[in-house]
Chains A and B, each alone.
Chain A
């Protein structure tokens, strides 16, 4: 069975500090992995995705994530937080068949000035 666990439903960081949002997955086959962001009153937007190839994936707005198979993790990072990064972040996993997607419960990021 496939599942996604996001550790920490709320994360607060100071402006300019490192952002680290954790995501662990379980999958019986090599997965495709995604991070989405949701700003208030808006739908989800894709930040980045990993399918195959390079395990360090760069996305929009300076975010990146690294696929670590040995740790079954796909943590999202950004070197320096900006006030505009305050939002809800969702990790998701899909089998490479693209038939089903599983979302984590989300992490709310607060950026403190």
Chain B
């Protein structure tokens, strides 16, 4: 298995633009997590899905953030409009039965 695949690896965008981050979880996994990592705040859980259903989105910072999981093999995290303070590394992770998360390599987002 190729592991959790995230795209793009790097994204530079201007403030106010829409940004979409993509994630393909490991086949067969039933949990999918979106995290944001910054040096100041560490790793923050934004939202997670179980069987494609959002379970806990309390970590989503603002209404500008939204996440979807239309099927078991694909999820998106969208920021609209983006702001400089959204600059961070965004991780997607998947797991089976909510245990032993496997992380993607992350997307480094820079908003200028």
A joins B in a complex = yes
Task: Name A residues whose Cβ lies closer than 8 Å to a Cβ of B.
Answer: 32, 34, 36, 38, 40-44, 46, 49, 51, 88, 90, 92, 94, 98-101, 103, 106, 108
B37 nearest CB neighbor, chain A only: A101
The answer to whether B99 touches A38, judged by C-beta atoms less than 8 angstroms apart, is yes
Task: Name B residues whose Cβ lies closer than 8 Å to a Cβ of A.
Answer: 31, 33, 35, 37-39, 42-43, 45, 48, 59, 89, 91, 93, 97-101, 103, 106, 108
A41 nearest CB neighbor, chain B only: B98
Q: A43-B45, A99-B89, A100-B106 are in contact. Are A106 and B39 (CB under 8 A)?
A: no
20 inter-chain pairs at a CB distance below 8 angstroms, sorted by A residue, are A34-B42, A36-B43, A38-B101, A40-B99, A41-B31, A41-B98, A42-B98, A43-B33, A43-B35, A43-B59, A51-B39, A88-B100, A90-B101, A92-B43, A98-B38, A98-B89, A101-B89, A101-B91, A106-B100, A106-B101
Could you tell me the dominant secondary structure of chain B's interface residues? strand
Could you tell me the dominant secondary structure of chain A's interface residues? strand
Which residues on the A side are within 8 Å of B59 (C-beta)? 43
Q: A99-B89, A99-B108, A101-B91 are in contact. Are A43 and B39 (CB under 8 A)?
A: no
The answer to whether A46 touches B100, judged by C-beta atoms less than 8 angstroms apart, is no
9 closest Cβ pairs, A-B complex: A43-B45, A41-B98, A98-B39, A46-B42, A103-B103, A43-B33, A40-B99, A88-B100, A106-B100
The answer to whether B38 touches A101, judged by C-beta atoms less than 8 angstroms apart, is no
* Extra contacts besides A34-B42, A88-B101, A100-B108 (4): CB < 8 Å: A34-B43, A40-B99, A44-B101, A46-B43
Which residues on the B side are within 8 Å of A40 (C-beta)? 97-99
